[in-house]
Structure 1
Amino acid sequence: MTTTLIIGGAAGAATGYVHDICARALAQLRARGSRIVLTDVAENLAAAPELTERADDVAELDFTDPEACVAWATAYAERHRIDAVMAFREYAVVAAAEVAAALGLPGNPPEAVRTVRLKDVCRERLRDLGFCQPELRLCRSAQDAADFHREVGGTVIVKPRSGSSSEGVQQVEEPRQMTAAFAASCDAAGVALVETFVGGPEFSVEGLIAGGRPRVLAVTAKQVLPVSFVECGHTMPAPIGPEATEAITAEVVGALAALGLRHGPFHVECWLTGEGVVLGELHVRQGGDWIHAMTEWVNPGLELYGSWYDDLLGRPVLLPEAPSRGAAARFVTLPSGTVSAVTGWSDIASHPDIHTADLAATPGTTLHPTTSNLERHGVFVIGTPTPSDAGPLADKLLAGLEVRVVPTEE
């Protein structure tokens, strides 16, 4: 029997798709006969007893501390065999890579994972490798950021250096707006990334690196809110022609290979511009926002985590060539105020093609501004037998939802 160590693999049911990722992965590993060693911080373990009871061993471990994870895993491996190491969270991928390397197990090179985790480092590395990237600067003050803005002109985007979920992302049109934007985006080290705005439709690419080769499983069309870039919709597969799909696929596959990534799922953002494909952020994990579930649905028979596990053990992995079904997610984003009435949600939740539906806005709920993916007010995910049906159906269902909000008095 093999043993899989999971770094940061617990999440309570209230986390929605994060919990589903963990549950799916545990089920697929268990179905392959693996022992499971589940680690996470105490709060996450306590919130997910239905997950911890599926594991053979459970331990408290801070997945954001790679050194602590390596020390714990090394000591554990002296007493128990470990065959594979996995992580599902953005902030756990460095620790997983370091642990796998320390134990001599298959995994992505830690230096490659660290490159991907720092947006400015990754962008400059991709530029050096010949991939189109926006102009950028890692800034240490609002003045530095404003100076860069004056140099490049036009619209710029200010964002945390290593964040996720669109937290802290700001669109800035004028240098005088930079003081507030920099304050919202700078990290604990006092730095923020400023880059030129890239126009054009936005996509993400979902896939798995198996046998050392990146394999694209789906291209996803993204809908985002203006200014904050909070994601409000995903449609899979993207309703674009084969030439555009092939161009996006080739750019992403080339970048992942050039960066030296060797194993596991990936989620890569990009834009399709008049000059070609421009890569955005790269992630060595599955996409959030139920994208993992959508990827499995559009590829019948696919087990994303089981396939990853098989690859880590050196087993052959058969992956689908292209999606044969459709999926779409739509998010509810509402203005600030107090909800007075909701109509149409029951029609969404009861639709036969719905896979999941959750609305946090009920009469009496006080709503706050949506400034990141973590602050949206609801979501539903649909799956359709025909790929082209998912997006239009999702839009039709969303159009039937009415949430009345009484504005907050200032």
Structure 2
Amino acid sequence: MSGPLVVLGASGDVAAAAATLPVQVVHVRLPGAPRPVDATAVVYDVDYQHPPAFLPFVDEVLAPLAPTAVVSLTELGLEPASAAAERLGVTGVPLQAVRDTRDKLRMRRLLDRAAPHLNPPYAPGDAPPDVVGALFTGNAAVVAKPVAGTGSLAVSLLRRPEDLPDSRRNPGTMLERYVPGREFSVESLSGGGRHRMLGIAEKRTSPDGFVELAHLMPPPGLTEADGRRVERAVAGLLDAVGLVDGPSHTEVKLGEDGRVTVIETHNRPGGDGIADLVRLTTGIDWRRAALGWAVGERLPAVVKQPDVPEAGTATGPAAAAGPREAAGPPRDGAAAARGVRRAAAAAPVEGAPPVAAAATVFLTAPPGRVTAVSPPPGLSGSARVVTWEVQVEPGDPVQPLRSSADRLGMALIAAPGGPDACAAAVADLLARPAVTTCPDDAPPDPSRP
């Protein structure tokens, strides 16, 4: 009998997926984190982000269990899981590959050697002034972001070299020339160096271009040729960083000239409900597959999507039926601590056939104080709201939209009518004020109790 699967930092959805695997599961969670619902799972509380506490735990507690693999699907658990797997000599993602994906500067340098055409011009934040200045050539804008950041936190757009504050002129800052074009994310599962693409999603972002407001799978209007370009770029990136086994979530830009530029990658499924988009459009439980590879589970075949009787709908890898091989989380904070209010407007059915398109849409509002929260709306055509999660209630403060953590909730949409119908539903929902606010200094509305 094989040993257990050790999972670090599982969310409720990931723990539920792990419970469906035909192996014993051992959860390692941070102290105070919610306990997994699976009553059969073994649970340990330890600060896996603190090596002096975690490594003795690996030696004294995990080693005697003789686990088959150690994995994580949460950003801050990726390196500890790989370090534990390497220490125990069991299946896991190579630690060097994890570090090379989490460190954006290291990833760029690897691409320089293996696939330089996938990089934009870039420099570390402490580069000499002439190097930094060259990034702005031709009035180009430059993106400044943390070398190891996530969630659009501390990402800013610079128009001139002097816009870079002294506090960010350090090796912890990454500077990249801004790349115009459509932005996509790609979900992939690798095995033995072969990369199987499960889905491509297109982003809708905030006016500054950095906070994600929606993900649409498959992207409307993505051609077969462009989809192939995106897939080849992702495969080239994964080869460059040595990610030969396990899940990945890669973000790229596609220019009008057909050039694909890598933005970043992670050895985990995408957040923001993207795993649900894969499930809705392919029938594959992406969370389960992202865990199951480590214990020998094979990725299931996709159920063919229905044909979409819409004129002008693209037929590319993103719109085609199923994953193929390429050649070559809920918000933290006070509102979440109270519990997310979740409404199922059209509850998903396990084993249901895939829909032609799906999307996640994020709820936002102007800064101030919440005065009202809307119920799930009806959508035009055949599109429907599958789940509706709101993380605020009347009286809560709303901060300016600076990162993903400032979003107020999420809707999951299914669109049997196809990518164009899905895009229309997303635009409709983004235009609706699901959460209403008033400025903190506004007088109270006498019509409200």
TM over 0.5: yes
Looking at structure 2, the residues matched to 368 and 346 of structure 1 have their Cα atoms a distance apart, in angstroms, of: 23
Instruction: Output the amino acid matched with 2:160.
Output: E
Match of 1:37 in 2: 26
Match of 1:16 in 2: none
Cα deviation, residue 266, structure 1:
0.6
Instruction: Call closer, same or farther: CA 1:317–1:406 in 2, change over 3 Å.
Output: closer
1:154-303 to structure 2, matched below 5 A, reads 154-179=140-165, 183=167, 191-227=172-208, 229-239=210-220, 240-273=222-255, 274=257, 276-300=259-283, 302-303=284-285
Structure 1 spans left out of the alignment, 5+ residues:
12-18
Cα deviation, residue 376, structure 1:
0.8
Instruction: Output the amino acid matched with 1:281.
Output: E
Task: State yes or no: 1:390 paired with 2:422.
Answer: yes
- Mean Cα displacement is larger for which, 371-380 or 72-81? 72-81
Task: State yes or no: 1:322 paired with 2:322.
Answer: yes
Cα deviation, residue 53, structure 1:
4.9
Instruction: Report if aligned partners of 2:155, 2:210 keep a CA contact under 8 Å in 1.
Output: yes
Instruction: Call closer, same or farther: CA 1:217–1:137 in 2, change over 3 Å.
Output: same
Instruction: Call closer, same or farther: CA 1:386–1:73 in 2, change over 3 Å.
Output: farther
Structure 2 spans left out of the alignment, 5+ residues:
303-320, 324-353, 443-449
Task: State yes or no: 1:134 paired with 2:134.
Answer: no
Instruction: Report if aligned partners of 2:383, 2:415 keep a CA contact under 8 Å in 1.
Output: no
1:24-46 per-residue CA deviation (whole Å, 9 max, x = no partner) reads 333332xx2x11111121021xx
- SS in structure 2 of the partner of residue 395 of structure 1: helix
- Supply the RMSD in Å over aligned alpha carbons: 2.7
Match of 1:15 in 2: none
Work out the number of aligned pairs and report it: 383
Match of 2:351 in 1: none
Cα deviation, residue 146, structure 1:
6.2
The sequence identity of aligned pairs, in percent, is: 27
Cα deviation, residue 164, structure 1:
0.5
Task: State yes or no: 1:347 paired with 2:377.
Answer: yes
Instruction: Output the amino acid matched with 1:4.
Output: L
Instruction: Call closer, same or farther: CA 1:253–1:24 in 2, change over 3 Å.
Output: farther
Instruction: Call closer, same or farther: CA 1:220–1:337 in 2, change over 3 Å.
Output: same
Looking at structure 1, the residues matched to 92 and 388 of structure 2 have their Cα atoms a distance apart, in angstroms, of: 35
Looking at structure 2, the residues matched to 127 and 400 of structure 1 have their Cα atoms a distance apart, in angstroms, of: 44
TM-score normalised by the chain length of structure 1: 0.84
More helix by share: 1
Looking at structure 2, the residues matched to 161 and 75 of structure 1 have their Cα atoms a distance apart, in angstroms, of: 34
Instruction: Call closer, same or farther: CA 1:402–1:115 in 2, change over 3 Å.
Output: closer
Looking at structure 2, the residues matched to 148 and 228 of structure 1 have their Cα atoms a distance apart, in angstroms, of: 25
Instruction: Output the amino acid matched with 2:422.
Output: A
Looking at structure 2, the residues matched to 292 and 146 of structure 1 have their Cα atoms a distance apart, in angstroms, of: 42
- SS in structure 2 of the partner of residue 164 of structure 1: coil
Instruction: Call closer, same or farther: CA 1:205–1:373 in 2, change over 3 Å.
Output: same
